[in-house]
Amino acid sequence: MTAGTFGGNAVTCPACGGTIELRAAGFTVNLACHHCGSLLDVSRPEVALIRKYKRAKENFALELGKRGTLFGQEWEVVGAMRRKDQITIWQEFLLFNPYLGYRWLVACDGEWQFGTMLADRPQGPRDRVYWRSTPFTRMGRDQTTSTTAVAGEFYWRVKAGDTATATLFQSGDTMLSREVSAGEENWTQLVPVPEAEVEIAFGLRRRSLPRRKAARGPMLFRPSIGMEQDDLGNMFKLALAVSIFAAIAMAVIAGPTTAASTLIQVPVGGQIAPVKVGTITVRRPWQFVTIEADANRFENRWVDLEYNLVDRSSEQSIDAFGLVEHYAGTDSDGAWSEGSRSGDTMFGHVPRGTYDVYVSGSAHGWPVDPYTIDGWGSVETINLSIEASTGAMSWGMWWTLVIALFAWPLTLLWWRFRDK
């Protein structure tokens, strides 16, 4: 322990020799020297050096030693801390008036709160507490907070790296904060203060304010302290509601439906010339046309299908392709199969008009085509039912929307569990 000197209301830093004004003499326990950042113990007549530092001044939004009036009382800024949890970083200022004791000013996400320590402890179960007969509802889960930087004077042993478990409770504008550290439980009442009032009272170093949400790109969705959980349920509800609404709206917009169908036989190892499936009509300016091919039972075959939508008035053709394939076999892992005996093909952005639908195709065996004529002298064919219709919606687009909608809340949820 290096002893410094303690005279009147000024102390000499035992680390750098600088003079530090002691603003809350008799109350202050720890002091961070504003010249060198060293942490001092001033609770006894001889000043003790706790930890020596040599570093630049920490920048806080309020200057230590500033005096101003808040809620009709004069306060002096005596201490400043930078704290963080997994979601945000904020600043806390310790205000002092020898006749009134200590108060807190908390700056987080562009909002300010004025804090008063409670002598009486709120009572109640985990999610709801009563303080002076007002019920307060828990906001979010417990957060582990840590102190990353300190400056000025504190009435307890403070140091960078201190951690506490914080829980917030809310009733209207008022919040109660419970902090538990080293077995000690402290409650603070927090009420909002307009930033303008803080600025009038103490002046603001805006460049040192904790960064606002908007400055943070993906952290745009970062909540104010304690609010990080509250809105997650609502986000999921909103995503679900929009998903359901979109499914209905997309189905309604996609209509009306017309359909045509036929049956075709495709020889394996051969092909068929275009067959007319039927006529369908696109009744809206643009619609989807879907063609569904369903085959009978086959194995280790594939069928290439080509569809043509021929516009009756312009004779223009829109082409698309479909594939039906199914394979099965046995290997060291047992039986396997893959593929599907039916296939959907979708034409997007088909303009209004009447279309004749044609299908042509070829079928093949895997790994090689079988003999085209079996022992009975008949050709192996694959039977397919082809149905063309207008008025379907694109479920692919709907699923894309659903994934995009749920991406944010799921990311937030993932963050939370990763933090745990």
Partner 1 sequence: MTRRLILYALFCLALLAGALFAAFNAYSFYSDEEDRPVASGQPGPSHK
Partner 2 sequence: MPVRGASLPYATCPYCQTLILRQGLDIEDVGKVAVLPFDVSPIQLGTTLMAEGRSMVVVGRVRWAWTGGSWNEWLAMADSGAQYWLAEAAGMFMLTAEWPQLLDRAEVRAFAEGGTLTPGDVIEVDGRQLFASDIKQVECLGSEGDLPIPTQIGMKMTSVDFRSASGEVLSLQRDDRATTAWFGDSWDLVSLKPGNLRQIEGWTVPGELR
The single residue among 46, 127, 185, 319 that binds partner 1, judged by CB under 8 A, is 319
Q: How far is the CB of 233 from partner 1 (least distance, A)?
A: 10
Residues 323, 303 contacting (CB under 8 angstroms): yes
Site map for partner 1, 329-368, x if CB under 8 A?
Answer: x-x----x-xx-----xxxxxx-------------x-xx-
Burial of 209 (0-12, 13-18, 19+ CB in 10 A): buried
Cis, peptide link before residue 256, omega less than 30° from 0: yes
85: contact with partner 1 by CB under 8 A: no
The pair of structure tokens assigned to 243 is 């998903």
Select from 1, 5, 18, 26 the one that contacts partner 2 (CB under 8 A). Answer: 26
Burial of 333 (0-12, 13-18, 19+ CB in 10 A): exposed
Rounded to 5 degrees, φ, ψ at 390 are: -105, 165
18 near partner 2, rule: CB under 8 A: no
The interface partner of residue 239, options being partner 1, partner 2, none and the CB cut-off 5 to 8 Å by kind, is partner 1
By CB atoms closer than 10 A (0-12, 13-18, 19+), residue 7 is exposed
**Using the rule CB under 8 A, which residue among 60, 90, 93, 96 binds partner 2?**
96
157 binds partner 2 (CB under 8 A): yes
Q: Which is nearer to partner 2, 121 or 349 (CB)?
A: 121
**Is position 128 an interface residue for partner 2 (rule: CB under 8 A)?**
no
Q: What is the DSSP string of 49-72?
A: EEE----PPPP-SS-TT-EEEETT
To which residue do tokens 């504003």 refer?
34
User: Binding residue for partner 1 (CB under 8 A) from 149, 239, 359, 388?
Assistant: 239
- The C-alpha atoms of residue 115 and residue 193 are separated, in whole angstroms, by 10
Residue 394 found at the interface with partner 1 (CB under 8 A): yes
Q: For residue 55, which phi and psi values (nearest 5 degrees)?
A: -155, 170
Shortest CB 45 distance to partner 2, Å: 5
Task: Supply the minimum distance, in Å, between the C-beta of residue 48 and partner 2.
Answer: 12
Q: At what angle do helices 232-254 and 395-419 cross, to 10 degrees?
A: 170
Nearer Cβ to partner 2 (183/218)? 183
Tokens of 116: 């008063």
Which stretches of the chain bind partner 2, using CB under 8 A? 6, 8-9, 24-27, 29, 43-45, 73-74, 96-102, 117, 119-121, 123, 155-157, 183-184
Which stretches of the chain bind partner 1, using CB under 8 A? 213, 220-224, 227, 230-231, 234-235, 238-239, 242, 245-246, 249-250, 253-254, 285-288, 302, 304, 318-323, 325, 327, 329, 331, 336, 338-339, 345-350, 364, 366-367, 393-394, 396-398, 400-401, 404-405, 408-409
